[in-house]
Amino acid sequence: MKIAINGAGIAGSTLAYWLHHHGHEPVLIERSPQPRSGGYIIDFWGSGYDVAARMGIVPRLQKCGYAIEEVRFVDGKGQRRGGLFTSVMRQTLGERFISVRRSDLAAAIYAKIDGKVKTIFGDSIAAIYEDASGVHVGFDSHSSRNFDVLVGTDGLHSRVRELRFGSERQFETYLGYKAAAFELPGYPLLDELTYVSYAEPGRQVSRFSMRDDRTLFLFIYSDPDAGCVPATDTERKAVLRKAFNDSGWECPQILGRLEDATDIYFDRVSQIQMPSWIKGRTVLAGDAAAAVSLLAGEGSGLAMTEAYVLAGELARANDNPLAGLARYQIRMMPFLQNRQRAASRFASSFVPKTGLGIALRNVLSSMMAFPFLAELLLGRQLHDDFELPHYEPD
C-alpha cells in the first residue's frame, strides 16, 4: 500500500521504518525544511526501548545518550534537599534505560530510513478527501496525490487531526502548565551526569550539562490560562522573563544569558484524548492521537510503540487496511489511556504548587534510596504492562 505519513518526527519515522520493513510504500511529509533539532532530554525505557532494539538503534543511542546518575532537587543556595539516584531505577529496568536528547533519538530513527523512504521536506497537508478508491491528499506546495492510508503523526497540534477530526480544543486537555527548553553554550556551573532542579511554588527550573560545553535548561510553570503559545523566540524570551523574573537560585544568571538562546521549545503541557483515532482510511498515532504530556516521561517511547503496532497490524491485514486500523486502536487505546491517567496524577507532584508540596516531594524522593520504597513509589510508573507483539512472518 501507498501510505502518507504527515510528520517526520519520532512516531512518523518509526512508522515509516516498519511499513517499509513489511513491504509497504510510505511517504513522509515534514513541514520543517530539514530534520528537527533541539528539544529536551527524555528518559527512554519500556516498550519503546524494545522497539528501538528491534530496529538496531540502541548502540547509537547509548553512544549519543547519557547515563544520568542522579536527579537532584536543590534549594535557593544550591544545597541538595531531595532527589534520587538512577541506580534505583536501573534495578527495576536493568540496562533498558537511557537518557537521550529527543532530537538525537529522532535522528537515529531517521538514519534507518534515509535513502529508502521518500521524504517531502518543507511541506504539509492542506486538504484531505476520501472516496472508495482511497485518500486524496492536497499539499501546501506540492501537487495532490492519492494514497491507500493517511497517518497523522504530526504532534500535539496535528494538522491531520484538525482537517479530518475537528478542532484541537475538542480533544486537548490542558494540565495547567507551560514548558520551555533551550540550550546555552559555556554555562559555567557543571554537574556531570546530574539533572539539577530548583522549585518554587508553581514553577521549576532544571539544568543538565551535556557534551561540547552545552547546558540544557527546562522551565516549567503553572499558568491557569491555556492561552496562546508565543510564536517567536523573542516572544518566548519575554514570557520566560516575566514568569521567572523574581525566582531565586541561578535564575537571574540563566535569564541573563537568555539572549544567547535560539530554537526555544515552548508549549502548553497538555494531553490529547479522543474517542477514536480512526476516520475512514485516516488514522492518528503518537502525540496526535494520545499525547500523554512531557510530564509522563515516556511519550517518545510510547509513540514508537504505537507506530510499531500500527505498521504490524496493517501488515497482518493484507488487503483490508480498515481491519488493521481497527486492531491497532483496540490494542493500543486502553494502554495509552492508562498512561494518560497516570501522567495526570503525576503532574501536581512534578511541579508542586505549594511550599508544602515541594517539601513533601523532596522527602519522598529521598526515601527512594531504599529499593523497596522505590519500587512502591515508582514501580507502576516504570512498568509498561504491555507485551510488544511480534509481526514477523511465520
Q: Give the residue among 148, 152, 170, 169 at the shortest CA–CA distance from 161.
A: 152
The count of domains in the chain is 1
Residue 236, judged by CB atoms within 10 A of its CB (0-12, 13-18, 19+), counts as: buried
In whole numbers, what is the pLDDT of the chain averaged over residues? 90
* pLDDT at residue 394, as a whole number: 43
The DSSP H or E segment spanning 93 is: helix 87-93
Residue 124 lies in a domain: yes
pLDDT tier at 253 (50, 70, 90 boundaries)? very high
Residue 184 lies in a domain: no
Domain encompassing residue 9:
2-67+99-171+272-347
E strand intervals along the chain:
2-6, 25-30, 41-45, 70-74, 80-85, 97-101, 118-121, 125-131, 134-139, 145-147, 149-152, 172-185, 194-200, 203-210, 214-222, 265-272, 278-279, 282-284
pTM: 0.92
Strands lying side by side in the sheet with 145-147: 125-131, 134-139, 145-147
Task: Report the DSSP beta bridge partners of residue 198.
Answer: 74, 205
DSSP-assigned states of every residue in 239-296? HHHHHHTT--TTHHHHHHTGGG--S-EEEEEEEE--S-SEETTEEE-THHHH---GGG
- Identity at 362, one-letter amino acid code: N
What are the tens digits of pLDDT across the range 174-227? 999 999 999 999 999 889 899 999 999 999 999 999 999 999 999 999 999 988
pLDDT tier at 384 (50, 70, 90 boundaries)? low
Residue 370 lies in a domain: no
What are the tens digits of pLDDT across the range 147-156? 999 999 999 9
* Cα–chain center distance at 359: 28
What is the rounded average pLDDT of the residues 79-92?
Answer: 80
User: Distance (Å, rounded) from C-alpha 285 to C-alpha 73?
Assistant: 34
* Cα–chain center distance at 253: 28
% of the chain exceeding 90 in pLDDT: 70
The rounded radius of gyration (Å) of the Cα atoms in the chain is 21
- Identity at 50, one-letter amino acid code: D
Task: Report the DSSP beta bridge partners of residue 267.
Answer: 179
Residue 47 lies in a domain: yes
Residue 115 lies in a domain: yes
Q: What is the CATH number of the domain that holds 126?
A: 3.50.50.60
What are the tens digits of pLDDT across the range 14-52? 999 999 999 999 999 999 888 877 668 888 888 899 999
Torsion of CA 167, 170, 176, 182, to 10 degrees: -30
